[in-house]
Structure 1
Amino acid sequence: MQLTVGPNQFFWDAALWRDFYLRLADEAPVDTVVLGELVCSKRLPFYQTHFPDVIERLQAAGKSVVMTSLALITLKRERKLTEELVDMGLEVEVNDLSVLPHLPAGAAFSIGPLVNVYNEGTLGWLAARGARRICLPPELPLASIAILAGAAAVPVEVWGWGRLPLAVSSRCYHARLHDRAKDNCQFICSADPDGRAVDTLDGQKFLAVNGVQTLSASCANAAHQLPGLREAGVASLRLSPQADGFIEICKLFSDLIDGGIDAETLSANALPQAPGGQYADGFLAGIAGVDWSAGKGLAVVG
């Protein structure tokens, strides 16, 4: 089983973004890295000048490099950005199906977790269209994953770590929270490099927001589901970038896949770095998504 680093969902300082990926190239035992902007096209100009150096460094380290599309393409300039993305000559991860008409015949592309691949018909159509890899939506239970992986003509990937992407809106939650217009947000989302927690009125952890994106409050952790995912034929786990401790997370998952540690060890060692301070794997386990199959014993206190 391989490891894929998904696109960074958050807005980071350009120097932090560059250094994160340069270190990832040199130190992280992963196979594929997805770069680019998934959430908000306004963020892209701040760091896209670093693409050539980062891509070169990642490829020199033997890692496959893929460029993500936006999750929601609504503006003319975003369609233009999509065309420029295709022109880069790298595999494109499609997270909005409106990207497909921009792909010339034979262009390399894969399917990201924000595309609703829920049945064999959709899976087969995308593979016939030329998709080289399909990352299934994170809300699918293991039983459904097994059916899809068994029917797939291409490698299937599953979300392994990080806040789960739940929805994308045309409204910017960060801008609204700070009484700013979306077009004059002043990039306030950068103040929350792993998303901003949203609790219920009685203080229960509920969700997280990231600009126009809604995320899970908990950190998804598929470590305890690895045997079932392997048996189902899943080819790769996806790890979602976070501001701190991500190289260590990659190493822990690599050790888990290689049999050097067990799921309990990974979960205990990774918990201090888990966004939200608690785990969930309920979608995979076929129960409520917020649930954690290993019980309630692991949670950051305070």
Structure 2
Amino acid sequence: MTAKLTLGPVLFNWKPETLRDFYFRIADEAPVDTVHVGEVVCSKRTPFFEPYIAPVVERLQAAGKEVVLSSLALIMSDREMGAARDLATDAPTLVEANDISVAAITAGRPFVAGALLNIYNEGTLAALEAMGASRVCLPAELSGEAIAALARAAKAEIEVQAFGRLPLAISARCYAARARQLTKDACQYVCADDPDGMPVETLDEVPFLAVNGTQTMSFHYMDLLGDLETLVANGVKRFRLWPQNVDMVAVAALYRAVLDRRIAVAEAEERLAGLCPGVAFANGYIHGRPGHLFIDEGDE
């Protein structure tokens, strides 16, 4: 069976109308099988997009896309816990658990285990499958060998992150607000100023991470175009594209074309670079190397 493409939830604070129009275009034009919708990073953003969720889901489903509703990655209040409970028990679609409490609340209903649940070994994988996980998005730090081992052991569908800034960690503190001398409670939603994340540099002025509100992300974009064929052969059923402030319809089309062997990897890489001007790409983790590196086949 041909591997499927998943569009992950938008992790950035885009304007509600921008986000709505983004999903409408994805519904109408993007060659993806599954689309995640929902706030993962900060619950303060949730009310702005809530009026658009129903029409977005309806448009996506009408276009034949599977819709998954994604949960918060860090639940810290009774209000957030209540919203997570409602999502896990009442959602009319499959739910992605990005906090382990959401997985527990599902009480055996099928769910997606999100990338932030940190599934690094067969024991954790089996435990989540026993809780009801029917699909598992693996963390990005795993090597190709580790992914193959988990795919062999899995009963659930295995998904690998294949494009975009990687979500690395989530915090109770808001880095975007602090960088502007603001508090989290009075943040003025300044994370919206960075629709692709705010780069973070070392003391030597070398960019190495990105900040998205309370979230730490990779500075580099993951690019697994050259690794798709091997991963499929090793049992990976799905590849996740993280939305960035680029033409995601065109990005998805490139990944679909490579999976279908309608375009050579080298040509796809060249086109991807054109779609993401100024972006540094990486695939080091999949090759068992430091994550910020990009490894060509001839480099190994």
Q: Give the structure 2 partner of residue 217 of structure 1.
A: 219
Please report the RMSD computed on the Cα atoms of aligned residues, expressed in angstroms.
Answer: 1.6
**1:63-108 deviations in Å (ceiling 9; x for gaps):** 1000111111111111011122232221110111011232244x23
Provide structure 1 residue ranges, at least 5 long, that are not aligned to the other structure.
296-302
| 1:35 matched to 2:24 | no
Runs of 4+ in 1 over 6 A off after TM superposition: none
Sequence identity percentage: 46
Provide structure 2 residue ranges, at least 5 long, that are not aligned to the other structure.
none
- Secondary structure of the residue aligned to 1:50 is helix
1:56 corresponds to which of 32, 55, 58? 58
Q: Give the structure 2 partner of residue 300 of structure 1.
A: none
Residue 129 of structure 1 and its aligned partner are, at CA, apart by 1.8
Cα distance in structure 2, aligned partners of 1:217 and 1:274: 13
| 1:89 matched to 2:92 | yes
Cα distance in structure 2, aligned partners of 1:73 and 1:27: 34
Residue 199 of structure 1 and its aligned partner are, at CA, apart by 1.4
- Secondary structure of the residue aligned to 1:110 is strand
- Secondary structure of the residue aligned to 2:115 is coil
**1:125-172 deviations in Å (ceiling 9; x for gaps):** 211221110011111000000000011011100001000111111110
TM-score, structure 1 normalization:
0.95
**1:189-242 deviations in Å (ceiling 9; x for gaps):** 001001011112222121100000000010000111112201211000000011
- Secondary structure of the residue aligned to 1:269 is helix
Q: Give the structure 2 partner of residue 234 of structure 1.
A: 236
Cα distance in structure 1, aligned partners of 2:275 and 2:76: 34
Cα distance in structure 2, aligned partners of 1:70 and 1:118: 21
For residues 52-201 of structure 1, the aligned pairs below 5 Å read: 52-86=54-88, 87-105=90-108, 107-201=109-203
Q: Given that residues 95 and 114 in structure 1 are in contact (C-alpha distance below 8 angstroms), is that contact kept between their aligned partners in structure 2?
A: yes
2:47 corresponds to which of 45, 49, 55? 45
- Residue-pair matches, total: 296
Q: Given that residues 282 and 290 in structure 1 are in contact (C-alpha distance below 8 angstroms), is that contact kept between their aligned partners in structure 2?
A: yes
Cα distance in structure 2, aligned partners of 1:88 and 1:18: 20
Residue 116 of structure 1 and its aligned partner are, at CA, apart by 1.4
Residue 244 of structure 1 and its aligned partner are, at CA, apart by 2.2
TM-score, structure 2 normalization:
0.95
| 1:16 matched to 2:18 | yes
- Secondary structure of the residue aligned to 1:139 is coil
Q: Give the structure 2 partner of residue 249 of structure 1.
A: 251
**1:18-56 deviations in Å (ceiling 9; x for gaps):** 000000000000000111011000001111110110101
